[in-house]
Structure 1
Amino acid sequence: MSTHNPFQIILSIFIVLGRLRGCYAGATQLDSSNFDDLIGNNEIVFINFYADWCRFSNMLAPTWDESADKVRELFPEPGRVVMGKVDCDSESSISSRFHITKYPTLKMLRNGQMAKREYRGQRSVEAFTEFIKEQLADPITVLKDLSEISNADEKKRMVIGYFETLEAPEYQIFKKVATNLKEDCQFMAAVGDVGRAMHPAGQSLIAFKASISQEDEAFTGSLFSYDEVSIWVTERCIPLVREITFQNAEELTEEGLPFLILFHAPEDTESIKRYMKLVHSELADQKQNVNFLTADGVQFAHPLHHLGKSKKDLPLIAIDSFRHMYLFPDYNEMETPGKMKQFLGDLYSGKLHREFHYGPDPDSTEAPTEEAQDAGSDDTTTTKRPTTPPESTFKKLAPSKNRYTLLDRDEL
């Protein structure tokens, strides 16, 4: 008859429980003590920003934890992916940092950088794991022959790297940049004999092509500097002036910057060229403060209507601050030196908002008011009269800050 040591039995139970806990640990709890370390040392960090009092957060919680376990099982390598969760009540600084205004909000960081759009796909274990698989897929197409470049998407910019081996440190930097920008450009690599004729012997090369038919533009900085490569590629993959459509409006709105928009007729390419030239020559230093956009004035007739304009008034330029829309007074003065920069400056200072509500500032040079003329006065100030500026229309294309709808219940 065999006997069992009770201490061995207890030890075995603890070992089993420990293994189970390791396998089914759920999502990683993120707080101020570990947040920056985790996002800085993992390729993908997928985060559930939640609040305990929110029933939608509580409904999602078990699915999120189960998904985290599945992802951990599929991608166990350190530094690849973490599914985390942030209690926004106890970690208000993190919540504020990422502008969380509704719960649950699902956001992804890639190599420490926040993705442009929050996750709005189906909320199931299968959907979350498939999303992670897509995010971790190799962003670079390794060419077997240079002729394959002609198969690229004509509508999408491309960056092509020429390397001796896939193990080269320059290639690893190229891959990291490609991972961050794969939604904006298509990335290709010619390795070894495939691309040897395209670059100096023993040296790697990165080139940008706006389209297949255009000439390459070679990168001349250090291929060993992630920052240099990233800045150069970003400036080419994400143009200074972009077209806004109903498909990308939500994404652009989420970037949180006011819009300076040229509204043009569909067939009008000349005004686009003039606008782009102006932005590049005079306003490029404002790219951190505003998004420069062009918009088809026929497709976006609704914003024009709010401005009291129609197709016959095109082209015209306006700012949408996400509170109000402000019309640039005279499109024909767009290229007058300093005019457009002053228009932006008046937005930043609050002058546009103030004058829309209360009329021109006292120091504005205006014609004398009727009252002043009747009195024989040369007073050049105008009487302040409250006005009603057009409301922002583009903010309505962004997701609602209170998205607790039937759709959310279906997603959860």
Structure 2
Amino acid sequence: MVFGQVVIGPPGSGKTTYCNGMSQFLSLIGRLCADEGREGWESEERKVAVVNLDPANDVLPYECAINIENLIKLSDVMSEHSLGPNGGLVYCLDYLEKNIDWLEEKLEPLIEDHYLLFDFPGQVELFFLHSNTRNIINKLIKKLNLRLTAVHLIDAHLCCDPGKYVSALLLSLSTMLHMELPHINVLSKIDLIENYGNLAFNLNFYTDVEDLSYLQRHLDQDPRSAKYRKLTKELCDVIDDFGLVNFTTLDIQDKESVGNLVKLIDKSNGYIFSSIDSSVCCLALAQRAASCGSRRRREGTEGEENHARLLCSPAMASSRAFALLLPLLLLASAASCAHSEAEAVLTLDAGNFTEVVGAHDFIVVEFYAPWCGHCNQLAPEYEEAAAALRSHDPPIVLAKVDASADRNRDLAGKHDVQGYPTIRILRGRGASSHDYAGPRDAAGIVAYLKRQAGPASVEIATSPPVGVFPELSGGEFESFMAVAEKMRGDYDFRHTTDAGVLPRGDRTARGPLVRLFKPFDELFVDSQEFDRDALEKFIEASGFPTVVTFDTGPANQKYLLKYFDNAGTKAMLFLSFSDDRAEAFRTQFHEAAKQYSANNISFLIGDVTASQGALQYFGLKESDVPLIFILASKSKYIKPTVEPDQVLPYLKEYTDGTLAPHVKSEPIPEVNDQPVKTVVADNLREVVFNSGKNVLLEFYAPWCGHCHKLAPILEEVAVSLKDDEDVVIAKMDGTANDVPSDFAVEGYPSMYFYSSGGNLLPYDGRTAEEIIDFITKNKGSRPGEATTTESVKDELGSWELQVRRCSAADSLRT
């Protein structure tokens, strides 16, 4: 099974930027994939392939695995057939559909180990009028067994204009119904929305698509939409009647925002590994993939407003849109009716949910949407499982809720439904709610729920237990059962009164005790502490390897997440597991873990093949393997091409405090005579902190589009202030140099100002005038210079600003 995204949206919505940022994010966090030939999930490092199917996109910021330009060029089509850009794009997609074998052949080598991102053109009629795009996707799904989610981007600034917002809703609804894929609507560039003024309502109104009648008063204030008031009202009613459209928000430069969207996409297409936010490592990798930070200038989006007005125009409003929606409305209604015919699965809604759940100690509820393809695939399996579980003693009840219906939205929100289908296990008459994490076929559902419906720990006769008790009662047993209930999702708990059923018949064990059996380190470890918090900590600590292994084995995934979530110092050894010295390295590293883990150091050994994402993120070179990498809170240490007998001495040097931290730095430039000075890690303190000057320092990334836009502005500032010897404008590549902990750089570009008086200030201005004004007001005095009164300083600053800007303009012209 191969997973991926179909990235669509109108021109200027940010599709190409999205594909670039998302591909970096997914590449660095790694993916998991399903292997239908085996039971469960197979773990492996997943590469990401971006497929450009937009013939008009001739400037690609991402590495393109497949490019439609190798099949057909838009410029050639326009020239040979006398077509404009729109007609040319339709022709190109028609041509691709007729030559779909070309694309299938290109995709064949990628589907074994790649996650796919399809970057489509922005011409909207391709997604709700013409059938070629849908046909292309459906053919690929059928031929290559793909599971794809449509990610439909809409520029968030359309929310600031009620007419444009209604147009965006209509476009989203039409596209959802036409494409017939799991679908997520995204308000992109949400970090820029405040640049367009205040919203008429809070943001939730626009993301949840609440009662559109509230927009009418604001629509009437616009002469364009007021003229077609009745038509606009009818369109709003159509959107409300469907009740399908809502939005999630996205700042492609913010790691948490991208991570939340990935979880929604993973849920929508069945890609279950969506807990990326539980790993500090994964979030850190996501931060690197996030393009450019949260304080940004708006990207140029010429043509967006014209496009939005076109959607609002009377020609679109009317017959064409409604004629498209009406037959699909009937189709959706038919699907909904068919879905409701099931008998074994209870149908719940906001009216009866509390009553029904309150009558059951254990009940399973599926939150679905009638238009969701994966929900429709699950429906017969879920129904079959429900029928089988009715005969269980006691019966296990399966129910469903149409979470897309207006009346059930609050109910879905209460149960944190972020994608379809979402299945919740409710216990204690609704007192607790847990994710269903079992199989999706009928037999698997039945087996999983039978285990979940029973007690958290069961008495056994032959299988290895955890708890050994003289009798199955008393305070120790109750504490054990309480902890078992809390941790049952992560551990299989068992208990017994007969120590003879322990492996090898260990009758010497005397209860009450908890014995934790381990597939690593020592075979088991015992505890007789039954305070609930202490018992939970014992299981967590003892159930964690002394040395975590970073490889492709699925059994290690949960340990990796916990390892990188730990805030302490991390010691990592990366090597090739096929190295003849691998066993010697393991022996030495395990010994180091035994000796130094008490120093709040956790240990990891990683195979270089499986650890490519980690090596890339931490800036480590594969040519330096085998290497030791120690990551502390404010420093890091690297020992390249290490030998087995050097492992213990190196760790001892670290714990003794005699190791010098490693600082990644570009070479100090021999010539540095440009207006904007180049700073590297090795000379940052000399240039910034020890120069006695006022320094404005920009941290940038070479791939950052916002950094490219800021570059000429900083150049203008530097030229303007060239006669002030006490001011330095500088820049540092944050991807090629370690950024000192003095600077909280969370995205690019980030700017800091260090005054000659010793004040370090973050700054986010984006115009030359703003930056010069900020420097003038915050710079320190020259040595021996008398302090000027504030009014005189302001006057002089204003005069200097004008003179320097004129001088800069003249210099740049020459």
Normalising by the residue count of structure 2, what TM-score does the alignment of the two structures yield?
Answer: 0.29
Rounded to whole Å, the distance in 2 between the matches of 1:105 and 1:127 is 17
Rounded to whole Å, the distance in 1 between the matches of 2:447 and 2:697 is 62
- Within the candidate set 498, 503, 519, 1:191 is matched to 498
Rounded to whole Å, the distance in 2 between the matches of 1:106 and 1:236 is 32
Question: How far did 1:261 drift?
Answer: 7.8
Question: How far did 1:274 drift?
Answer: 4.7
- Within the candidate set 379, 386, 392, 2:700 is matched to 386
Pair 1:118-2:437 in alignment: yes
- For 2:391, the equivalent position in structure 1 comes to 73
- For 1:163, the equivalent position in structure 2 comes to 469
Are 2:476 and 2:530, in contact at CA under 8 Å, matched by a contact in 1? no
- Within the candidate set 515, 530, 553, 1:221 is matched to 530
Are 1:107 and 1:118, in contact at CA under 8 Å, matched by a contact in 2? no
- For 1:128, the equivalent position in structure 2 comes to 445
Question: How far did 1:64 drift?
Answer: 2.4
- For 2:624, the equivalent position in structure 1 comes to 312
Question: How far did 1:71 drift?
Answer: 1.9
- For 1:24, the equivalent position in structure 2 comes to 344
Report the secondary structure of 1:316's partner residue.
Answer: strand
Question: How far did 1:166 drift?
Answer: 3.9
- For 2:606, the equivalent position in structure 1 comes to 295
Change (3 A) 1:113 1:56: closer
Change (3 A) 1:91 1:316: farther
Rounded to whole Å, the distance in 2 between the matches of 1:173 and 1:377 is 63
Question: How far did 1:304 drift?
Answer: 2.2
Are 2:513 and 2:526, in contact at CA under 8 Å, matched by a contact in 1? no
Rounded to whole Å, the distance in 2 between the matches of 1:193 and 1:135 is 27
1:349-401: CA deviations, max 9, x gaps? Answer: xxxxxxxxxx9999x993334xx89xx954495732412678xxxxxxxxxxx
Larger Cα-atom Rg: 2
Pair 1:233-2:547 in alignment: no
Q: Could you say what the CA RMSD is over the residues aligned between the two structures, in angstroms?
A: 5.7
Give the AA of the match of 2:628: P
Question: How far did 1:244 drift?
Answer: 4.0
Question: How far did 1:216 drift?
Answer: 4.5
Pair 1:206-2:514 in alignment: yes
Are 1:368 and 1:379, in contact at CA under 8 Å, matched by a contact in 2? no
Give the AA of the match of 1:217: D
- For 1:262, the equivalent position in structure 2 comes to 572
**Which stretches in structure 2 are left out of the alignment for 5+ residues?**
1-340, 640-649, 658-677, 703-733, 736-814
- For 1:48, the equivalent position in structure 2 comes to 366
Change (3 A) 1:177 1:164: same
Report the secondary structure of 2:572's partner residue.
Answer: strand
Identity %: 16
Give the AA of the match of 1:262: M
Are 1:243 and 1:295, in contact at CA under 8 Å, matched by a contact in 2? yes
Rounded to whole Å, the distance in 2 between the matches of 1:258 and 1:29 is 39
Rounded to whole Å, the distance in 1 between the matches of 2:397 and 2:591 is 44
Rounded to whole Å, the distance in 2 between the matches of 1:93 and 1:295 is 44
Give the AA of the match of 1:165: E
Give the AA of the match of 1:330: Y
Change (3 A) 1:109 1:331: farther
Give the AA of the match of 2:344: Y
Rounded to whole Å, the distance in 2 between the matches of 1:38 and 1:281 is 50
| Greater relative contact order, per chain length (Cα 8 Å cut-off, separation 6+) | 1
Are 1:165 and 1:191, in contact at CA under 8 Å, matched by a contact in 2? no
Rounded to whole Å, the distance in 2 between the matches of 1:295 and 1:92 is 45
- For 1:60, the equivalent position in structure 2 comes to 378
- Within the candidate set 537, 540, 553, 1:247 is matched to 553
Rounded to whole Å, the distance in 1 between the matches of 2:679 and 2:365 is 47
Are 1:50 and 1:88, in contact at CA under 8 Å, matched by a contact in 2? yes
- For 1:330, the equivalent position in structure 2 comes to 637
Work out the number of aligned pairs and report it: 306
Rounded to whole Å, the distance in 2 between the matches of 1:252 and 1:30 is 40
**Which stretches in structure 1 are left out of the alignment for 5+ residues?**
1-20, 153-158, 285-291, 320-325, 339-358, 391-412
Report the secondary structure of 1:67's partner residue.
Answer: helix
Change (3 A) 1:51 1:33: same
Rounded to whole Å, the distance in 1 between the matches of 2:497 and 2:467 is 6
Question: How far did 1:67 drift?
Answer: 2.4
Question: How far did 1:310 drift?
Answer: 0.7
Question: How far did 1:136 drift?
Answer: 5.1
